[in-house]
Amino acid sequence: VVLFISVNQILLFLLVLTICVILYNKVHKVPSTLNNETSKYSEPRPEEMEEEIPVVICAAAGRMGAAVAAISSIYSNTDANVLFYIVGLKNTIPHIRKWIENSKLKEIKYKTVEFNPMVLKGKIRPDASRPELLQPLNFVRYYLPLLIHKHEKVIYLDDDVIVQGDIQELYDTKLAPGHAAAFSDDCDLPSTHEMVRSVGMQNTYMGYLDYRKQTIRDLGISPSTCSFNPGVIVANMTEWKHQRITKQLEKWMQRNVEENLYSSTLGGGVATSPMLIVFHGKYSTINPLWHVRHLGWSPDARYSEHFLQEAKLLHWNGRYKPWDYPSVHNDLWENWFIPDPSGKFKMIRPNS
């Protein structure tokens, strides 16, 4: 019996020793990186060392499943510390909260932000051809610094996107000094070129601005200048505020109400034209694979599967949304969709 106890004690001793060695190694790693004059005095906790990535997405009534699929794709493809700012109108916020809290998305970090459409009063010209583009939430991107206070660098995404890459990469997009934002150029990718040609889409300023108007001609911007798509934005809030970008955008909305300056929403949005004017010649570019777009342009035009696999972000801009029918490549979208626990939002599929 005496022998038995001492063997047990030896085993216990060895176990304690092993734990001590493991602990020592763990603790020892930290000082080796902190052993630097500059970082000695601030020892951030691990979760604070990792920069928070703010991602702004709108959740609009009637298409809230879009925001849910986008968020779920981002969250599933990254280890980064993402904070979602989900922007809605007053009456939509409880719905999106319920959806998140009752699904696997309950693990995400998010804030809901209410957008007051009164800020747009008198700044939007009614457009009968595509009233959906006048959705107040389309203009949320103009007001980023008013919605987000804590962060300097921010990502804004349209709701009709799916992210297949690690969002950290998009966040790491470099903005040149003096640039308040980065966008994807509409002339960037050969595959996009083909798509643009095949569906007869505009990819220049001419598609967005009415060059018959003197006010537009006075801008001195060549009509053949390549446009950019503001559905994916990496923005610097310090620079945005410094250049008073929001005020400038509002001015160009206002002038459109007075003078009808923009072409009839050909390129996909009243929200685009003022941005093309305000950011002309002063924006940085986003890696084209981080904004593969026009998937919603036509129910027939398709990209090659190979190309889509390489894409980091897919954007169904255009009328043919992947939750609706007809639409293309909607399987890629459906992978990330999470059904609405309240049953209010439903995908439209043939025979459903």
**Are 188 and 330 in contact, with CB atoms under 8 Å apart?**
no
Q: How far is the CB of 270 from ligand NAG (least distance, A)?
A: 28
Residue 239 vs 250, nearer CB to ligand NAG: 239
Q: Which of residues 170-209 bind ligand NAG (CB under 6 A)?
A: 175
Q: Which is nearer to ligand NAG, 50 or 152 (CB)?
A: 152
Shortest reach from residue 36's CB to ligand NAG, in Å: 4
Q: Is 233 in the site for ligand NAG (CB under 6 A)?
A: no
State yes or no: residue 241 binds ligand NAG (CB under 6 A). Answer: no
- Residues 94-153 interacting with ligand NAG (rule: CB under 6 A): 152-153
Size of the site for ligand NAG (CB under 6 A): 8
The least distance separating ligand NAG from the CB of residue 228, rounded to whole angstroms, comes to 18
**CB under 6 A: which stretch of 160-168, 203-211, 235-243, 339-347 binds ligand NAG?**
235-243
Q: Is 238 in the site for ligand NAG (CB under 6 A)?
A: yes
What are 327's two structure tokens?
């639409």
**Binds ligand NAG (CB under 6 A): choice among 159, 160, 186, 239:** 239
- Closest approach, Cβ 51 to ligand NAG, in A, equals 10
> Residue 105 CA to chain centroid, in angstroms?
17
| CA angle, residues 231, 234, 237, in degrees to nearest 5 | 120
> How near is the Cβ of 241 to ligand NAG at its closest, in Å?
9
In this chain, which stretch among 44-52, 205-213, 233-241, 246-254 interacts with ligand NAG, using CB under 6 A?
A: 233-241
Closest CA to 232 of 192, 193, 288: 288
Shortest separation between residue 188's beta carbon and ligand NAG, angstroms: 21
Q: State the minimum distance, in angstroms, from the CB of residue 165 to ligand NAG.
A: 20
Provide φ and ψ at 183, rounded to 5°.
-135, 170
Site string for ligand NAG, 146-175 (x = CB under 6 A): ------xx---------------------x
Q: Whole-angstrom Cα distance, residue 263 to residue 267?
A: 9
Tell the burial category of 139 from Cβ atoms under 10 Å away from its Cβ (0-12, 13-18, 19+). Answer: buried
Q: How distant, in Å, are the alpha carbons of 194, 251, 297, 300, 335 from that of 198?
A: 6, 35, 10, 10, 27
Adjacent-strand bridge partners of 262:
209
Say whether 239 sits in a helix, a strand or coil. Answer: helix
Judge contact between 67 and 55, C-beta under 8 A: no
For ligand NAG, which is the closer residue by CB, 137 or 181?
Answer: 181
Pick 40 or 346: Cβ nearer ligand NAG: 40
CB of 255 to ligand NAG, least distance (A): 27
Contact 246, 145 (CB under 8 A): yes
**In the chain, alpha helices (H):** 2-34, 46-49, 64-76, 93-101, 144-147, 167-171, 190-198, 214-217, 237-242, 245-259, 272-278, 305-310, 330-334
Q: Which of residues 29-58 bind ligand NAG (CB under 6 A)?
A: 36, 38
Q: How far apart are the C-alpha atoms of 133 and 191, rounded to whole Å?
A: 26
Q: Which residues of the chain form contacts with ligand NAG (CB under 6 A)? A: 36, 38, 152-153, 175, 236, 238-239
